[in-house]
Structure 1
């Protein structure tokens, strides 16, 4: 247990189903994300919040995007894992939990498919859905230092149930684990979700979201002029109130260059302040990719689009 660090709300997530006021939660500095699947097709009620995770990702199949609901702060313990008395800690061991609406069970998938009921089968999730989860993991890496690593074994359900695939961690391994895992990996639990989700592709997407020099054209197309490299995103920690550093000045100059310096009275300051936040917000509102996250603070995507 430790002092909370970093933003506690995922940008754009709804708090329409907020449970922390009713159930509290232990404060902790998160270094693990556990992925679940709901085995349902809509946002669960979680027994009024008694078994809720920190966040739920609900697929909007027509819009091809995930709609996020936040139930507990990022660094407050949630309630979706079994936690036996006298054993290792699960819910309260520096864990942020995410439920993915859909199924990992091939029988359930076939049943819903045969009935014409639209859903996501997470072991064969469309790329837009994996990208939505990957963006959250990238945000967790940037804002909370989550390692973008995890177990090698992600056996398919029902093999993953209990410990059929030999994937579940021992108490000692779990206590020392940092990174991304599934419900299937957590000790004292028998669930097998999220099954054979494409974890390698998920991490690849998350790392690509953080790779700010990936806009260069392929070497197989030398005839095309190369695009200028985007300067490396330094991280959210450099843009705190009153922070004075070269990145704040670099950002301010680029905002002015792109026509978003209206809130500066004379010129961009080297100390982060309200004028910087308002100018960043104006830029975010101008881009359809960022309108849902126009909070005035530069994240990796804001930085990339501003300097592209």
Structure 2
């Protein structure tokens, strides 16, 4: 019986494989478990998002949309190779698929054609949504492909699975095309090669731990009108350090104000992965990049 990994074990497994991880607000308890069980888990499923921009992609996968509430995956794999954790439980990513495919994954045998949709995939698969338009033209940077390889291998290593436990959405549900732009057979070969060697964790802890490098994100609620706390001043001082303090007349303080918002917005507009959601209110991704 393959029990889902506890959140800390999931994050640790990814980091041990050398994955750069961003843990988003509430991800440990953000799930669809009230709609059905998660587990026993049998494998890992790879998707593309049909979205553009990391911040926008993470927001959609976290919140979902009309008719399909989030989380839409366990992690988003951005083009820069960063994995954004959104859930450790049941997620709306796989939908109904072919029970014969599930049996092949469980037995780690070659996959049959997916010609039925009779089995609940959200129960049995971890899902990674990969930032890509899915049009066959949007590139897959090597950093992103490497992160897919590492993330899938991390889970396989945690459970003692082989590379045949990793499939694409197009191999599970009839009519799906994702991931489009690379071959799942080629990705499985990469995963097999990685599983044949010891994991290669990053040379530094990721994300950098102790607070003198990157302090933990305090939550979005810390940066709202009327809030006064140490995190606001900490944010302001880092903005000044990065050259984005022009809206301060006196300097950063503990009181959140319009100057803080404008400086954050200027920083967000300076980064392509943040521009699509540059509202001046810092989320986990803004915080992560500001201290990078």
Q: Please tell me the TM-score bracket, short chain as reference.
A: 0.3 to 0.5
Flag the structure with larger Rg: 1
Q: Given the two structures, how large is their TM-score scaled by the length of structure 1?
A: 0.39
| Greater RCO structure (CA 8 Å; 6+ sep) | 2
**TM-score, with normalisation over the residues of structure 2?**
0.41
